[in-house]
Amino acid sequence: MNFEELLPILAQSTGETLQMVAMATLLTAVFGLPLGVLLVTADRGGLTPAPAFKAVLGAVVNIGRSLPFIVLMVAVIPFTRLVTGTTIGTVAAVVPLTLGAVPFFARLVETALRGVDREVVEAAQAMGARRLAIVGKVLLPESLPGLVAGLTVTIVALIGYSAMAGAIGGGGLGDLAVRYGYQRFDTGVMIITVVLLIVIVQFVQSLGDLVARRLDKK
């Protein structure tokens, strides 16, 4: 395949990858952040102690984390159909991507929040702060650099997952590499997609590091 033929395909695949990753990242943040907060606050000695609830939540998160993404993707096909009405395409791929990334991100959120000084939380309690205010004004702002770092790692993981989603018709760069690079033995396409993926990951990681550093006032 020559370059003129490849370029539009490459552009489309890159667009699909970015679209899948962007949508999945947004949804992962929306669901993963509260989940991570709950994992911390429901602790014995946390803001809203609920050890039984926390145990169940932790188990669910661990199940999500222990499934290889490719298995999870296939296993949730009925759910994907329920939500999006289809199992093929970029939008359908967002469902397993989000399901795979939420527990992952939630654990990273949990770790970041646990890094917040206990004395600072107590100081807020001693001032008579509501629990929601402690989450919103203490836990989240104080752990923001860690949260950004966690989200960055999650995006990189999502880029990796998104290549697998290509295998069930999600499209994207992974799909391109498999169909052209592997099945048609087109080494050129293979190299280009690999390089593109590396560039995207490097860019995301560098940007994330930069933002996290800027936010860190310690």
Partner 1 sequence: MIELRQLRKVYANGVVALDGVDLSVREGEILGVLGRSGAGKSTLLRCVNLLERPTSGTVTVDGRELSALGRGELRAARQRIGMIHQHFALLSSRTVAGNAAFPLEIAGVPRDQRAARVRELLELVGLADKAAAVPAQLSGGQKQRVGIARALAAGPSVLLSDEATSALDPATTQSILALLRRLNTELGLTILLITHEMQVVKSICDSVAIMSDGRIEEAGRITDLIATPGAALTREIFPLPEPAPPGTVTVTFAGQADEPVMSSLVRKFDVDVNVLGGSLEELRGAPVGRLRVRIEGKGAADALGYLTGLGLLVEVA
Binding site for partner 1 (CB under 8 A): 117, 119-120, 122-130, 133, 137-138, 141-142, 144, 215, 217-218
What is the nearest approach in angstroms of partner 1 to the Cβ of residue 136? Answer: 10
> Do 213 and 150 form a contact (C-beta atoms < 8 A)?
no
Between residues 61 and 147, which has the closer beta carbon with respect to partner 1? 147
What is the nearest approach in angstroms of partner 1 to the Cβ of residue 141? Answer: 5
What is the nearest approach in angstroms of partner 1 to the Cβ of residue 211? Answer: 14
User: What residue has token string 């205010």?
Assistant: 133
What is the nearest approach in angstroms of partner 1 to the Cβ of residue 53? Answer: 19
What Cα–Cα distance (Å) separates residue 167 from each residue in 51, 93, 101, 140, 208? Answer: 40, 10, 18, 37, 28
Q: How far apart are CA 144 and CA 141, in angstroms?
A: 5
Between residues 137 and 213, which has the closer beta carbon with respect to partner 1? 137
Between residues 4 and 119, which has the closer beta carbon with respect to partner 1? 119
**According to the 3-state scheme, what is the secondary structure of 113-182?**
HHCCCHHHHHHHHHCCCCHHHHHHHHHHHHCHHHHHHHHHHHHHHHHHHHHHHHHHCCCCHHHHHHHHHH
Between residues 184 and 216, which has the closer beta carbon with respect to partner 1? 216
